[in-house]
Amino acid sequence: MKKSWIAFLTMVFCVVFISPGWAAYKIGFVASITGPASWLGEPEKNTALMLREWINAASGIRGVPIEIVIEDSKGMEADAVLATKKLIERDNVLVVIGSSTTGESMAMVPICEQVETLMISMAAALSIVTPDDEMKRMEASKKPWLEVPKKQRYWIFKVAPSDASAVEKIYIYCQAKKIKRVAIITVSAGFGVEGRRQLKRLAPKYGIEIVADELYGPKDTDMTAQLTKIKASPAQAVINWSVGPTQVIVTKNWSDLGMRGKIPLIQSHGFGNKSNIKLAGGAAEGVITPLGRVLYAEKVDPKNPQKPVIMKYKTEYEKRFKSDVSTFGGHAYDAIMMVADALKAVGADKKGIRDYLETKIRNWPGTGGIYNMSPTDHTGFGADGFEMMEVVHGEWEFAK
Residues that bind other proteins (CB under 8 A): 33-36, 38-39, 42, 70-72, 74-79, 81-83, 85-86, 88-90, 102-103, 106-107, 109-110, 125, 127, 132, 188-190, 192-194, 197, 214-217, 219, 221-222, 224-226, 228-229, 231-232, 244-245, 248-249, 252, 256-258, 275, 278-281
Nearest to other proteins of 207, 258 (CB atom):
258
Least Å from the CB of residue 351 to other proteins: 21
Nearest to other proteins of 36, 347 (CB atom):
36
User: Which string of DSSP letters, residue by residue, matches 106-130?
Assistant: HHHHHHHHHTT-EEEE-S--GGGTS
Nearest to other proteins of 104, 377 (CB atom):
104
Give the closest residue to 103 by CA, choosing from 216, 219, 217, 190.
Answer: 190
CB 327 within 8 A of CB 367: yes
Q: Crossing angle, helix 102-114 and helix 77-89, to 10 degrees?
A: 30
Which amino acid appears at position 297 of this protein? A
CB 159 within 8 A of CB 380: yes
Give the closest residue to 157 by CA, choosing from 120, 203, 102.
Answer: 120
Rounded-to-integer distance, Cα 117 and Cα 93, Å: 9
Least Å from the CB of residue 108 to other proteins: 9
Nearest to other proteins of 56, 224 (CB atom):
224
- What 3-state DSSP class applies to 344? helix
Least Å from the CB of residue 177 to other proteins: 23
- What 3-state DSSP class applies to 324? coil
Nearest to other proteins of 90, 319 (CB atom):
90
* Neighbour tally for 375: CB within 10 Å: 11
Q: How many CA atoms lie within 13 A of 338 on its CB side?
A: 42
What value, to the nearest 5°, has the Cα angle with vertex 168 and ends 126 and 164? 10
CB 350 within 8 A of CB 117: yes
Nearest to other proteins of 35, 65 (CB atom):
35
Least Å from the CB of residue 320 to other proteins: 15
Rounded-to-integer distance, Cα 340 and Cα 346, Å: 10
Least Å from the CB of residue 270 to other proteins: 14
Least Å from the CB of residue 78 to other proteins: 6
Nearest to other proteins of 67, 355 (CB atom):
67
